[in-house]
Structure 1
Amino acid sequence: MIKRAVILLVLSSILVTLVWVRHQSTAPVNNISTESHVSSKYTTVEYKISKIKGKKYYGKGEDGEEIVFSAENIVSGENIQVDDVVICYFEKHNLGKGLVKVEEK
């Protein structure tokens, strides 16, 4: 019985330590690129449109990062052509949600 109590105490201590360390550490920063601009609500990244195929737009950033988005993401029906530079807006604290909107620069 004492043996089980000691094991439970040790495991509980380890769990508390891990929770405390996780709470004290900061979340990793998702650095999209060195050319990204940060506004109060969104993180923005500039891409140059390299190809348009149907309603899909393909872009490439200065750092070589590529993006594909649909015409539905474009704000107010702007007429974007190949070699145009666009600004892509992502939620500042939730990049995983995806692209919020796209507008021509």
Structure 2
Amino acid sequence: MAGNHGRILLVEDDPTLAGLMVDLLLAEDYEVDGPYASVSDGMAALASQFPDGAVVDLHRPSQGASLLKDDLEAYAIPFLDGEENGTGALERRLLPWLRHMHH
């Protein structure tokens, strides 16, 4: 069932943070595609159905992460990158980013 605000692809390799983000997204009435713990799983999900937005937060180094982000940019899918301003702040940035995405 789709949430009223759309579907968010979640690629997060920390199970604790993934659970927190899923709860936040569901509470804000988003459908969550994921969480996926690997870039390859996230890319497969993206290929099967484009989301309305994405959250990419990988703590383990992965060369494929840039490919996933490039694909999101190429298809003009807004995404929140956990690497941009440090992953510790991602939970605090998630809800403001979602609200901004709708304006």
TM over 0.5: no
More strand by percentage: 1
Under a length normalisation based on structure 1, what TM-score does the superposition of the two structures give?
0.23
Under a length normalisation based on structure 2, what TM-score does the superposition of the two structures give?
0.24
Structure with max Cα Rg: 1
More helix by percentage: 2
